[in-house]
Amino acid sequence: MRTVGYYLKENWKPVAVYAGMAAVFWTVGSLYGVDPDATGYALLLAGVILLLSLCPGFFRFLRKERELRETGRNIAGADPVFPAAGTLAEKRYQEMIGTLLEQRNQERSVAQQTRQDSLDYYSLWAHQIKTPIAAMRLLLQEEEGRRQGKDGFLRGMDRELFRTEQYVEMVLNYLRIGDMSRDMVLAWHPLDDMIRQAVRKYSRLFIIQKLRLDFRETGATVLTDEKWLVFVLEQILSNALKYTKEGSVSIYAGPSKENGAVLVIEDTGIGIAKEDLPRVCERGFTGYNGRAYKKSTGIGLYLCRSVMDHLGHGLRIESEEGKGTKVLLDLGRTPVEPE
């Protein structure tokens, strides 16, 4: 009915003319004593003719309306194809829209090229900076071996150098997150193997900070992208080590769910303020701990949440200030048994 209303609104003039002429004929017929039945019959025939003349235009109106709806659904993607213009005004509107779309495509192309240039530059920078970092690590290891690992200064330098490597990796992953779907390969992986990869990377920091690791094997197999899930595990371990002065970091299977495994990473660190918990995964949010300890970039947990969303997994954080933090990863799926 709404479509009929729009059509009549666009074609009100013929209807108005018919109504005016009908009023004139009826008035004249009444004044001259013409049989009302004859006048009514004539007006009825004229109304049928008017209706028949409007029907083809109405069907053209419906077809064009459907084509415009389809064009509207595809207008954000490739260049849309408009229905043939019926009037000069429609033709001019289509020309203006075409000009705007061409400008949009040019601006989009420039933006994509600029982003690709930035990605290429920072990727090159990140790979180049790894060379001096690796050289510094070798020099530190040689000096530490010569001093038999007794120098606290060298241990501190080793820790900060490791964090520098982590920040370089974070830059690369931050740049890649926008095109993550191109770099994603889903397969079934043993969860414990991925946990060991992340733990092995941070084993040196566990030793330097004298923290105990309590890793209980889960025995789970999850459908995920190995590289990206290991990145999430590394970021969570990094946060646990950053804010835990003493005690332990525990990794274990959480309460099982029907749709897959739940992994828990729990530390005995300083915890997160209650008012900060809802926002800790926002980009750039550092919270009270970040401001107090000057260690947070506000990017790590944001990247973790983004990666988990892309992978179809869940991430939840529970914490109590002064008692520690618990990160729960809902890995979302269970393997299908082969037939």
Q: What is the DSSP string of 191-222?
A: HHHHHHHHHHHHHHHHHHHT-EEEE-----EE
Between the alpha carbon of residue 141 and those of residues 38, 132, 134, 150, 277, the distances in Å are 112, 14, 11, 12, 39
Contacts of 326 (CB under 8 A, 6+ apart): 264, 265, 266, 317, 318, 319
Number of domains in the chain: 3
Q: Does a structural domain hold residue 250?
A: yes
Top pLDDT among 122 and 43 is at: 43
**Interval 77-136: pLDDT, tens:** 656 667 777 677 777 877 887 788 788 888 888 887 877 777 776 776 776 777 777 777
- What are the beta bridge partners of residue 4? none
pLDDT of residue 172: 74
Residues 148 and 273 in one domain: no
Residues 174 and 212 in one domain: no
pLDDT of residue 152: 64
DSSP-H helix ranges across the chain? 2-10, 12-31, 36-74, 88-146, 152-176, 191-209, 226-242, 287-293, 300-311
Please count the residues of the chain: 339
Phi and psi for 84 in degrees, rounded to 5?
A: -60, 135
pLDDT category, 251, cuts 50, 70, 90?
very high
**Interval 1-16: pLDDT, tens:** 677 777 777 777 787 8
pLDDT of residue 61: 75
Mean pLDDT of all residues in 67-71: 74
Asked whether 285 and 232 are in contact (CB, 8 A), the reply is no
pLDDT above 60: residue 219? yes
pLDDT of residue 287: 65
Q: Which residue has the tokens 């009929």?
A: 4
CA angle, 104 as apex, 98 and 110 as ends, to 5°? Answer: 140
Alpha carbons 53 and 46: distance in angstroms, whole number: 11
Residues 221 and 297 in one domain: yes
Q: Which residue segment(s) compose the domain that 41 sits in?
A: 2-75
**Interval 195-206: pLDDT, tens:** 999 999 888 888
Q: Does a structural domain hold residue 163?
A: yes
Under DSSP, the state recorded for 82 is P
pLDDT of residue 337: 42
pLDDT of residue 167: 75
Of 75, 100, 129, the position where a domain reaches its end is 75
Between the alpha carbon of residue 307 and those of residues 42, 233, 304, the distances in Å are 74, 11, 5
Residues 243 and 318 in one domain: yes
pLDDT of residue 213: 93
Q: How high is the mean pLDDT of the chain?
A: 79
Q: Does a structural domain hold residue 80?
A: no
pTM of the prediction? 0.59
Return the CATH number at 200.
3.30.565.10
Residues 202 and 227 in one domain: yes
Top pLDDT among 220 and 82 is at: 220
Q: Which of 158-167, 214-223, 324-333 has the lowest mean pLDDT?
A: 158-167
Provide, rounded to the nearest whole percent, the portion of the chain with pLDDT above 70: 83
Residues 127 and 66 in one domain: no
Provide, rounded to the nearest whole percent, the portion of the chain with pLDDT above 90: 17
CB atoms within 10 A of CB 241: 20
pLDDT of residue 334: 45
Top pLDDT among 261 and 170 is at: 261
pLDDT of residue 328: 93
pLDDT category, 336, cuts 50, 70, 90?
very low
Residues 310 and 205 in one domain: yes
Residues 286 and 157 in one domain: no
Q: How far is CA 231 from the centre of its chain?
A: 18
Of 15, 46, 75, the position where a domain reaches its end is 75
Q: Does a structural domain hold residue 107?
A: no
Residues 177 and 195 in one domain: no
Q: Does a structural domain hold residue 98?
A: no
pLDDT of residue 338: 37
Q: How far is CA 275 from the centre of its chain?
A: 25
pLDDT of residue 264: 94
Mean pLDDT of all residues in 273-285: 83
Q: Does a structural domain hold residue 174?
A: yes
Residues 172 and 209 in one domain: no
Which amino acid does the sequence have at 219? G
pLDDT of residue 28: 82
Residues 129 and 228 in one domain: no
Of 48, 75, 102, the position where a domain reaches its end is 75
Q: Say whether 253 sits in a helix, a strand or coil.
A: strand
Residues 160 and 216 in one domain: no
pLDDT of residue 297: 62
Mean pLDDT of all residues in 32-59: 80
- What are the beta bridge partners of residue 326? 266, 318
Tokens of 45: 């025939």
**Interval 134-167: pLDDT, tens:** 777 777 777 766 666 556 666 667 777 777 777 7
Alpha carbons 219 and 261: distance in angstroms, whole number: 10
Mean pLDDT of all residues in 189-199: 94
Mean pLDDT of all residues in 272-278: 86
| Nearest to 259, CA basis, from 202, 329, 335 | 335
Q: Does a structural domain hold residue 87?
A: no
Q: Does a structural domain hold residue 287?
A: yes
